[in-house]
């Protein structure tokens, strides 16, 4: 089977790491033998915005609709305000295609540098389900009396029963499937957010009722941040709102060796629209054009895309290949104290894949 992939390399290191993701996808197709990918590239991002006034084509969603999946590098450049680049492309696609589940695994691979010195790879292995189309990032609000002394900013969170139930249900199903501790942690802040998060907790409890065999726990997001450092081994599946999920997954990335390892999928689980796969990191303007970005997050992201497209295929070979490169320690980028180039790491992973 051949899959049609829309590729949006985006800005900064987005371009650099995307090339390596594609390299590994093609190496995996060769390894499997019976699949292939047809890519179409879209030059959308900040440069496109500076030329056209839009981050993507105006009917870009229509164009993307016919693809099996979207692979995105990262967007953002110091020349464009970040809220414009984020809402003009990323959030537009996530919301427009109802990619309501943001799946973010946090897993320490052997050889990856964990800042917690007493933790081993088996201690750090959990998944955050981040709500991805509403909540704090709904984009509802406004400015009253701009530039006057009374100036007031309003940003409203939106939580619908339908979507919240869906997120919770996905988290419970994932805990069943992982079969690790059969546990779901509800990340909340219902002590302070007395409407939205109280509602969120209520839906969590309701859905939990359908999964008697799954243990539940409800923890405030500030405490979760502390426990990630103190006892990351306690976690299995966590479910969090858009904002909280965003924040705790950068912390999760640090636990697994940095943003160079954090992968994610924006899933439309109904499969009525394409899903989008992107590393958690941004465009990293501080290291762009140097060819030194770590492509492992993007390679892992490509693996997540394969999992979604192929469903039952053994894509673990890709993680094994990354792990072998890590453990060998010869071909690592500067964030891992090596001096390899981005493309050399991609080549090394492809080479390992051949011998697995």
State the residues that interact with ligand NAI by CB under 6 A: 13, 17, 74-76, 82, 86, 90, 259-260, 278, 281-287, 293-294, 297, 335
C-alpha 297/C-alpha 3 separation (Å) is: 21
Identify what 71 binds: Mg ion, ligand NAI, none; CB under 5 to 8 Å per kind.
none
Nearer of residues 86 and 184 to ligand NAI, judged by Cβ:
86
Residue carrying the six token digits 């219902």: 190
Residue 246 touching Mg ion (CB under 5 A):
yes
> Nearest-CA neighbor of 249 among 266, 263, 236?
263
Identify what 287 binds: Mg ion, ligand NAI, none; CB under 5 to 8 Å per kind.
ligand NAI
The least distance separating Mg ion from the CB of residue 328, rounded to whole angstroms, comes to: 30
Nearer of residues 253 and 325 to Mg ion, judged by Cβ:
253
Enter the DSSP assignment of 108: P
Q: What is the CA radius of gyration of the chain?
A: 20
Nearer of residues 7 and 128 to Mg ion, judged by Cβ:
128
C-alpha 236/C-alpha 180 separation (Å) is: 7
Angle formed by the axes of helices 316-328 and 13-32, nearest 10°: 120
| Sign of the dihedral defined by the CA atoms of residues 318, 27, 339, 333, in that order | negative
Residues within window 314-353 making contact with Mg ion, judged by CB under 5 A:
none
Identify what 335 binds: ligand NAI, Mg ion, none; CB under 5 to 8 Å per kind.
ligand NAI
Identify what 246 binds: Mg ion, ligand NAI, none; CB under 5 to 8 Å per kind.
Mg ion
Enter the DSSP assignment of 292: -
> Nearest-CA neighbor of 21 among 257, 327, 284, 278?
278
The least distance separating ligand NAI from the CB of residue 297, rounded to whole angstroms, comes to: 5
> Nearest-CA neighbor of 185 among 230, 234, 222, 229?
234
Residue number closest to Mg ion, CB atom: 246
The least distance separating Mg ion from the CB of residue 284, rounded to whole angstroms, comes to: 12
The least distance separating ligand NAI from the CB of residue 264, rounded to whole angstroms, comes to: 8
Interface with Mg ion (CB under 5 A): 246
């Amino acid at each position: 089977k051949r899959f049609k992939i829309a590729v949006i390399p985006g800005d900064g290191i987005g371009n650099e790491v995307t090339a390596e993701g594609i390299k590994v996808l093609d190496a995996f197709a060769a390894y499997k033998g019976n699949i292939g990918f047809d890519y179409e590239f879209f030059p959308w991002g900040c440069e496109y915005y500076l030329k056209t006034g839009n981050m993507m084509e105006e009917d870009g969603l229509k164009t993307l609709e016919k693809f099996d999946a979207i692979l995105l590098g990262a967007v953002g450049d110091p020349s464009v305000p970040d809220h414009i680049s984020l809402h003009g492309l990323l959030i537009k696609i996530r919301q427009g295609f109802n990619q309501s589940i943001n799946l973010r695994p946090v897993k320490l691979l052997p050889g990856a540098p964990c800042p917690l010195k007493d933790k081993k790879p088996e201690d750090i292995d959990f998944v955050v389900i981040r709500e991805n189309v509403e909540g704090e990032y709904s984009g509802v609000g406004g400015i009253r009396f701009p530039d006057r002394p009374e100036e007031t900013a309003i940003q409203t969170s939106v939580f619908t029963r339908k979507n919240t139930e869906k997120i919770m249900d996905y988290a419970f199903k994932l805990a069943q499937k992982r079969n690790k501790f059969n546990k779901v942690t509800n990340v909340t802040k219902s002590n302070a957010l007395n409407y939205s998060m109280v509602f969120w907790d209520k839906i969590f409890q309701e859905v939990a009722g359908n999964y008697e065999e799954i243990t539940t726990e409800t923890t405030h997001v500030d405490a979760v941040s502390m426990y990630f450092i103190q006892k990351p081994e306690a976690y299995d599946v966590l479910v969090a709102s858009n904002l909280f999920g965003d924040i705790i997954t950068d912390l999760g990335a640090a636990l697994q060796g940095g943003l160079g390892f954090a992968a994610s999928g924006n899933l439309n689980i109904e499969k009525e629209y394409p899903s989008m796969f992107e590393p958690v990191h941004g465009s990293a303007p501080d290291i762009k054009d140097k060819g030194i970005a770590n492509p492992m997050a993007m390679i892992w992201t490509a693996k997540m895309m394969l999992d979604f497209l192929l469903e039952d295929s053994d894509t673990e070979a890709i993680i094994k290949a990354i792990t072998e490169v890590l453990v060998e320690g010869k071909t690592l980028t500067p964030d891992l104290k090596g001096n390899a180039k981005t493309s050399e790491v991609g080549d090394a992973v492809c080479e390992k894949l051949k011998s697995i």
